[in-house]
Chains A and B, each alone.
Chain A
Amino acid sequence: MTVELVRETWPGKIFTVTIGATASEGGTRARTVTVGGHAALPFLPGDAPSPNRPVVAMEVMDAVPQDWPDALKSQLGDVMGAPADWARKCVEAYGAELICLRLNSPHPDWKDASPDAAVATVRSVLEAVPVPLIILGCGHADKDNEVWPRVAEATRGERCLMGVATPENYKTLVVSCLADGHLVLAESPIDVNIQKQLSILITEMGISPDRIVLHPGNASLGYGLEYEYSIMERIRIAGLQGDKMLAQPMLTLSGEESWKAKEAKLPEAAQPVWGSEARRGPAWEAITATSFLHAGADILVLMHPEAAAAARRAIADLSAAAATA
């Protein structure tokens, strides 16, 4: 007896968003990355196949926290402090499809770096890699509002994904992205309603809904993963049901979040039964990220090269399985 697969069709469709611009499109990227465009939930054999697979971005920081885990330092220690080299290594050695550049140093509590310095960092990374850029601020609202317009202007036409816009601080970022042709990364605190409200606020400023990527909060394995998973799933279902304010591709910062977990970074010496942190850390990161794939994540931002490789394998396997049905 054969099992008849349930096939589901949806009235709505997820927006297709292209990050990066080639020379002919007004930028300098060798290639662009397109995400979204889904007409069904991810990886379901028989449902409408997705035109765009999820992608793996790797995170590069202009300043690394002092207590950065050894497991990451051992992989990336040689490029710490040199964002352009770090980005190049991620693309060339680890196959990153996008670079997610986090500008920590302008934060008043870090280095209080000037907007000029931030612009210089962004330029150096742009020159070092051919892939599109995601650019994140330091999280200090006033400082971000100084840095964003400068960075947006310096990268005009590159169609970077810039973030994060929050309900408390979105206007300057949106205006900058509107003016200089970038995309907005909109972050909510793991809440479907607030995510939608933010999309409304952002689009009310005149940016079209296909220039937004959603970041529905931060969670990792053991630290709210299920919560974020269910919110992402609800966002995606709402989008497929036709809610245009929730029909955007989604991004997760799984690398950053996973390495906050003590289970990811505690040395084996401190907890022998947990085994080697060199394997445990990347595994924590990979499990977090691949879980979100099932909820509809389109862009996974990862840190450890092994986690990135594992996520890419998962994407390939899941996509192949869905396609064979």
Chain B
Amino acid sequence: MPGPTVTFQPDARTVVAEAGQTLLDAAFAAGIALNSVCGGRGICGRCQVRVVAGEAEVDEGGRVPGGGEILACLSRISGDVTVDVPELSRLEGEQILTGAERNGPFMPIPEEAAGERPDAAALAPRDPLVFALPLQLPQPTIHDCLSDLQRLTRELRRAGGIQDLVVPLDVLRTAPQVLRDANWEVTAVLARTNGAHELVALRPGTATSGLYGAAVDVGTTTIVAHLVDLATGTTLGAAAALNRQATYGDDVISRIIHAGEPGGLERLRDAALGVTNVLIGGLAQAHGVARDDIVGAVLAGNTTMLHLFFGLPPAEIRREPYIPVISMPPAYRAGEVGLRVNHHATVAWMPGVSSYVGGDITADVLAAGMDGTDELSMLIDVGTNGETVVGNRDFLVCCACSAGPAFEGGGITWGMRAALGAVQRVKITPGGGLSWSTIGGGRPRGICGSGLVDLLAELLLADYLDRAGRLRPDAPVVRQGPDGLEAVVVPAGESASGRDIVLTSADIENLLRAKAAVYAGGSLLTRRLGIDIRDIQRIYVAGGFGTYLDITKAILIGLLPDVPVERVTFIGNGSVAGAKMALLSQEAWRRAALVAQKMTYRELSTDTGFMEEYVSATFLPHTDCARFPRACAQLGRQD
């Protein structure tokens, strides 16, 4: 007997559910991304829905006082039910795509926003992880009567010097047909992984083009994918979507907790995998690439994302002594992983360091080129986990501190990732109002990280905001909102949604905490290493802010240390850039492994100095003006 059906309105989407399942899970199965910050524990009150027809069993605390709404996470399905999902209960007010939607409007992102560093690929010689080797095999005769496999190995040894061939059984099954149909002119698609060469595919003909790969940044908040032509190194396109795991909690800790619940790990794996498949599938479709021709993928993400993506239990990551199942995983085949590309495609994850420093940071270091120079440099990844790396060719030390997703737009009323329609530049006009520009130039849909940095800095410079981050009630653009003071950034008439785009007091507090955590991490790390921040010759900033980042303003709000601006380089999404370098170059892949091995992790959560650094950084730009001489001078302060 089929289970009860749940229909979501106004999407008119119906799924068959199991009795006892929550509406939140059913919504997820239906591809409707409900907002849920607490991970479905009935705490945040964001997943409100309204029953239109039928009934749901509502647990205690699941009814919203003073209205007909119920919390989806506390409502269980007992029979057929139809619910209405208000706009406010949806993540970012947009639908997140499921594999079921073939022509889904996934979010294309500008190249720069995705971390396309013009010179990044040039840093490593092109020698892709998966490559094509054309072969002209001698026809078998009664005198040359080797088996098909031996013939193939002999030719690969001769033509490519390959001694260590591994041929998976089902590739071998197709070989006799391909070899004979192609009259012994074939191309071997080979992956150099796990210390051997693996035959990914055997294609008829000797054309070496038409092989593609994917570089993916599996972020806690956002997943970004690039589709790359392996022969030319060209990036065909980039796309991003919210990591649907966000439904089960904003940070890695709440995800790890969720993974421990029955079915939790599978849900989280499906969520990340589903989004990644949609992104790669959408890119392939948009650029006329067959999924079967995508023969390699390099992914980068933190260690928790790695565990969840591969379906490995992550519980020990958060328990002392913080032991992951893996930090430097071997390469697997797409079929085992669940990535819907060529079944035999090599799927590699950038090598990580520890439970709290993952392959995304290795990728950042690779993209910045920190490991190849004598310059003492610092890399700051303004992502959810706020990692900082200090070092050069000889040493690398890193730390992580939970900064939250604020600069990726998470937890900010009108925050959004860097995508078309995101406000990314803001300026106070001579008249005292705000002017802005969006990525792509269209009507504003929200504010991305670089827009938020600009906005805070401009409000501070105009004295609309005090140094503790409180809006001045009498300032222009500031008004009393439903939850305290707020600044109107884009009036309803000019926004895409027809509603005012605002920055609330709570948003500012979130941004302040995020920037304080990021700064405190880097500051404490250099202090513990006995390095003066002024001795750092270069600072690389990674993160999905936008297509640009105003460094002066990032310093003015105290997100970055107050060093001369020419020492700061914004590398955008270094995670995807590094993954792409490794995809396109075996040399880069080997470097990544060395970077991970060389990197020392410094635990800051147990450092008594952290809270001190953090609290002193929750001020604009900082409580101690001596550390921000240029920024304070710009504000006319010398405390």
Contacts and interface: CB of A to CB of B under 8 A. Distances in A.
Interface of A: 167, 191, 193-194, 196-197, 200-201, 204, 243-245
Contacts of A204: 466-467, 637
B617 to A, nearest CB: 9
A201 B467 contact: yes
A302 to B, nearest CB: 30
Contact of B468 (A167, A191, A243, A245): A167
Nearest to B616: A193
Interface centre among B467, B468, B615 (most CB of A within 10 A): B468
A167 B469 CA distance: 11
18 contacts: A167-B468, A191-B615, A193-B615, A193-B616, A193-B623, A194-B615, A196-B623, A196-B624, A196-B639, A197-B467, A197-B468, A197-B619, A200-B619, A200-B623, A201-B468, A204-B467, A244-B639, A245-B639
A1 B376 CA distance: 53
Contacts of B94: none
B148 interface: no
A197 B624 CA distance: 9
B101 interface: no
Given A201-B466, A201-B468, 6 more contacts: A167-B468, A193-B615, A196-B616, A197-B467, A200-B619, A200-B623
A226 B328 CA distance: 46
B607 interface: no
B57 interface: no
Interface string B466-487: 1110000000000000000000
Contacts of B468: 167, 197, 201
Contacts of A245: 639
B463 to A, nearest CB: 9
A243 B639 CA distance: 8
Nearest to A244: B639
B612 interface: yes
Contact of A200 (B467, B612, B615): B467
Contacts of B612: 193
Contacts of A244: 639
A191 B612 CA distance: 9
A193 B613 CA distance: 9
Contacts of B618: 193
Nearest to B463: A204
Interface string B192-214: 00000000000000000000000
Interface in B601-639: 612, 615-616, 618-619, 623-624, 637, 639
A105 B305 CA distance: 56
A243 B618 CA distance: 18
Contact of B639 (A191, A193, A200): A200
Q: Which of A200, A201, A244 has the most CB of B within 10 A?
A: A200
Going nearest first, the 10 A-B pairs with the smallest beta carbon separation are A193-B616, A193-B615, A197-B619, A193-B623, A196-B623, A245-B639, A197-B623, A200-B639, A201-B468, A167-B468
A170 to B, nearest CB: 9
A196 B627 CA distance: 15
Contacts of A201: 466-468
Interface string B27-65: 000000000000000000000000000000000000000
Nearest to A194: B615
Contacts of B615: 191, 193-194
B508 to A, nearest CB: 14
B483 to A, nearest CB: 15
A194 B468 CA distance: 10
A194 B639 CA distance: 14
B624 to A, nearest CB: 8
Contacts of A193: 612, 615-616, 618-619, 623
A197 B468 CA distance: 7
A33 B466 CA distance: 33
A204 B472 CA distance: 13
A275 B330 CA distance: 71
Nearest to B614: A193
Contacts of B619: 193, 197, 200
Of residues A167, A191, A204, A245, which shows the largest number of chain B Cβ atoms within 10 Å of its Cβ? A204
A240 to B, nearest CB: 16
Contacts of B616: 193, 196
Q: Which of A191, A197, A200 has the largest count of B CB atoms less than 10 A from its CB?
A: A197
A201 B466 CA distance: 7
Contacts of A243: 639
Contacts of B639: 196, 200, 243-245
A201 B639 CA distance: 11
A167 B612 CA distance: 17
A11 to B, nearest CB: 13
A197 B467 CA distance: 8
A191 B466 CA distance: 20
Contacts of A194: 615
Contacts of A197: 467-468, 619, 623
A243 B616 CA distance: 14
Contacts of B637: 200, 204
A197 B619 CA distance: 7
A194 B619 CA distance: 9
A237 to B, nearest CB: 14
A252 B466 CA distance: 28
Interface string B449-470: 0000000000000000011100
A246 to B, nearest CB: 10
A145 B48 CA distance: 37
Nearest to B473: A171
B522 to A, nearest CB: 17
A199 to B, nearest CB: 8
B347 to A, nearest CB: 46
Contacts of B623: 193, 196-197, 200
A238 B388 CA distance: 29
Contacts of B466: 201, 204
B470 to A, nearest CB: 9
A196 B639 CA distance: 10
A193 B639 CA distance: 13
A201 B470 CA distance: 10
A244 B612 CA distance: 19
Nearest to A245: B639
A142 B8 CA distance: 44
Nearest to B638: A244
Nearest to A196: B623
B218 to A, nearest CB: 36
A208 to B, nearest CB: 13
Interface string B318-358: 00000000000000000000000000000000000000000
A89 to B, nearest CB: 41
Nearest to A203: B639
A184 to B, nearest CB: 16
A138 to B, nearest CB: 22
A204 B615 CA distance: 20
A204 B636 CA distance: 10
A127 B616 CA distance: 44
A6 B509 CA distance: 46
B469 to A, nearest CB: 10
A224 to B, nearest CB: 16
A61 to B, nearest CB: 31
Contacts of A196: 616, 623-624, 639
A245 B638 CA distance: 11
A243 B467 CA distance: 18
A194 B617 CA distance: 10
Nearest to B613: A193
A243 B637 CA distance: 14
A168 B637 CA distance: 22
A141 to B, nearest CB: 13
